[in-house]
Structure 1
Amino acid sequence: MERLAVAFLMVMLMIGGEGVGGDVSGEKEKDRITDLPGLPAGTRLGFQQYAGYVSLFGGNQIFYYLVEYDGSSSSPAEETPLIMWFSAGRVCSSVGSGGMLDAGPLRVQRDGSLKLNPWALNKVANLLFVDFPGGVGFSTARNSSARHKEDVAWDADGFLQQWTSRFPEYKGRKLYLAAHLAIKLVPGVLRPIAGLRLQGLLRGNPLIDPDTYLKGFAEFASVKGMITDKSKNRIPKTTL
């Protein structure tokens, strides 16, 4: 399934634009996804999608995938919030995991076809999946991938400044930051950015306190019958 998701992303790269300069409205239009191979004939998505690159000072190229609100709820489109999705920090593509496997509107099937995700979060919000920092996923880094929270904050701030220039309709929107393991990097960007109003965090598998989190693994495995009590008691406490 992961390989199929990567193949789908490659198609988005070819359809979406580079977005490396020039007229802002033209950049947005170049990034618009107008066709996706694999969609069943006659399928009307009912929402817009965009994918492309934003160039940062210093040479990093940040790849994004925007899925707009589909109008399912009673909220006016201009008032729906923006969810900015991180994944596992320096090791995992937010576009590939968050966009293709978690909250995005489409699922890639084994035969390469696309299927609508009935639980997609764009039924209540606009979804912005971004491969942070430079060097992760489809984003590129001029030198090497960022190594510290400050690097992620720098890329995120620079990205949003330019991205909201390309999509000015999102300035002033309520913003939620969503992440898995990358929640430990998110505090670096928890400040007023690009005129967006930060409302809160959405956390999945955050691993905020690993010392406490990991201690329950052996007990859980024992209760579920995955290991015997004897095996559980043989696990040194120092390994948890």
Structure 2
Amino acid sequence: MIQILILTIVHINGLQMEDKVSYLPPFNMSDQNFSIFSGYLSITNNNQSFHYVFVQSQLNNLDINVPLVLWLNGGPGCSSMIGFLQEIGPFVFMNEDDESLQFNEYSWNRVAHLLFLESPSGVGFSHNPLNITFNDQQTADDNLKIIQEFYSSYPEYQKNPLWLAGESYGGAYIPLLAEKIKKFNDLEVAVINLKGMMIGNGVTNLTHLPISQLIYQKEHQLLPPTFDITGCEKNVTSEECENINYDAWKITKRINPYDIYGYCYYEENEMEDELQWIQQMKQFMMIHNNNIVNVTNHDLGVPCVQIDNIQNYLNDVKIKRYLHVDENIEWFMCTKQQNKQFKYVSDPPIVMKVLQELLDFNIYTILLYNGDADSVVPWIDTLRSLQKLNVSITEEWRPYYVKNNQLGGYTQGYLNKLRFVTVRGAGHMVPQNDRITAFYLFNQTLNEETF
């Protein structure tokens, strides 16, 4: 028994050392008080392998009370390397035009360990060799297995409090994963120490998202006062509603839907093909029929978003070697069909059902936050979802303050450890648009302190 234990420890330490990142240009990791690990975690029964980046906390690495945060970007089909290199990681491209990484003063690893996962497989540097068509339940099952694989490789973190965090379609990924963890804990001897979840601008109920987008656009004068949206108010999945959305996109096509006060990057030739623009917006604004969303590829790109700096950085062969990833994979922010097949079928009604179950358990802290300058998943859509849940308001809307007592936004409290927060002036990616407020919300939630 002792011999087996020793061999296991040697194997585990070998895995960690193999994935340890020595250099992330322009930063030499020997100069930092924390380590970064990057490589692959695999699910052996179907040959999927998932790229992960693990960032140790700047706090005491041996303290089991330091939280571990799993971060998932959305899409479906978009890479969590965006969260790592643009939002909450220790080294980020501060601005969309930056050519070099900079130290992030408000990195979430100041107070927690961070685990970034490129999921589902087929996203980013992850491998999907069997050309699997994913759905919400399959993704949650795979993510649970990957968490278990992470603990097998890094057992010293298994007792640390676990938090699930992410944004956008993470609003589906995260609750379903939390439900899987709860069921796993009920059945298994080994328990995953899940404490809560934080979801930014999360897709939770696609059945009313298109009408929420239109209402938001009208309220913010992105559409003229005479623009008629009654067809969508009557039936959000009707052909009439789809035509209304098309007309709205023609008007707003040079407004960044993810940050309505931000800059819209575009190529003139992209704008000339109106049909292509409409197809692009339909996919990224999550318009659907019969409550099903089919994502087959992201060939048309992400509207108004410029990520050339991250894409060039991650596709540099030297960077790939530093990150221990497959050099033959071309990295994209959101998976492109010419890079690899990626197929995903969403099942929107299931998310609200699971959210209700998680609230009924009353054991997890849940923070839902929305940048109020996002028109893709506007804050009013998250509020509509909350109004459909069976949960009582315990604290009416009130302001909270950050940054030298400046208004950060508004918050409302609910029973069963649920809180909703808006972030003033931030778009779809709150930790990128407002790093100070995002870190404040994160830290206060981890410590169960009021805003």
TM-score category, normalised to shorter length: 0.7 to 0.9
Q: Distance in 1 between matches of 2:89 and 2:29?
A: 20
Q: Which of 202, 205, 216 is the equivalent residue of 1:206?
A: 202
Q: Give the match's secondary structure for 1:63.
A: strand
Q: Are 1:184 and 2:172 matched, yes or no? A: yes
Query: What TM-score, normalized to structure 2?
Result: 0.43
Structure 2 vs 1, CA of residues 133 and 80 (structure 1 numbering), >3 Å: closer, same or farther? same
Letter of the 2:90 counterpart:
P
Flag structure 2 segments of 5+ consecutive residues without an equivalent.
Answer: 1-9, 246-451
Q: 1:75: how far off? A: 10
Q: Which of 52, 56, 59 is the equivalent residue of 2:47?
A: 59
1:163 matched residue in structure 2: 150
Q: Give the match's secondary structure for 1:26.
A: helix
2:91 matched residue in structure 1: 106
Deviations 1:43-70 (A, max 9, x none): 9332211100112212111110011111
1:97 matched residue in structure 2: 82
Contact 2:121–2:127 (CA under 8 A) maintained in structure 1: yes
Q: 1:206: how far off? A: 1.1
Q: 1:234: how far off? A: 5.7
Contact 2:51–2:117 (CA under 8 A) maintained in structure 1: yes
Q: Which of 117, 120, 124 is the equivalent residue of 2:104?
A: 117
Q: Are 1:27 and 2:15 matched, yes or no? A: yes
Structure 2 vs 1, CA of residues 205 and 142 (structure 1 numbering), >3 Å: closer, same or farther? same
Q: Are 1:80 and 2:66 matched, yes or no? A: yes
Q: 1:174: how far off? A: 0.9
Q: Distance in 1 between matches of 2:200 and 2:151?
A: 26
Contact 1:38–1:112 (CA under 8 A) maintained in structure 2: no
Structure 2 vs 1, CA of residues 197 and 89 (structure 1 numbering), >3 Å: closer, same or farther? farther
Q: 1:175: how far off? A: 0.7
Structure 1 outlier segments of 4+, above 4 Å = none
Q: Which of 128, 150, 153 is the equivalent residue of 2:115?
A: 128
2:249 matched residue in structure 1: none
Letter of the 1:116 counterpart:
F
Flag structure 1 segments of 5+ consecutive residues without an equivalent.
Answer: 1-21
Q: Give the match's secondary structure for 2:134.
A: coil
Q: Are 1:172 and 2:159 matched, yes or no? A: yes
1:142 matched residue in structure 2: 129
Q: How many residues align?
A: 214
Q: Distance in 2 between matches of 1:178 and 1:168?
A: 21
Q: Distance in 2 between matches of 1:77 and 1:165?
A: 18
Q: 1:176: how far off? A: 0.8
Identity %: 24
2:449 matched residue in structure 1: none
Letter of the 1:189 counterpart:
L
Deviations 1:120-171 (A, max 9, x none): 1111111100011211111101202451233223322222222112111111
Contact 2:22–2:29 (CA under 8 A) maintained in structure 1: no
Structure 2 vs 1, CA of residues 228 and 179 (structure 1 numbering), >3 Å: closer, same or farther? same
Q: Distance in 2 between matches of 1:120 and 1:200?
A: 19
Q: Distance in 1 between matches of 2:202 and 2:151?
A: 27
Structure 2 vs 1, CA of residues 234 and 169 (structure 1 numbering), >3 Å: closer, same or farther? closer
Q: Which of 224, 232, 242 is the equivalent residue of 1:228?
A: 224
Contact 1:63–1:138 (CA under 8 A) maintained in structure 2: yes
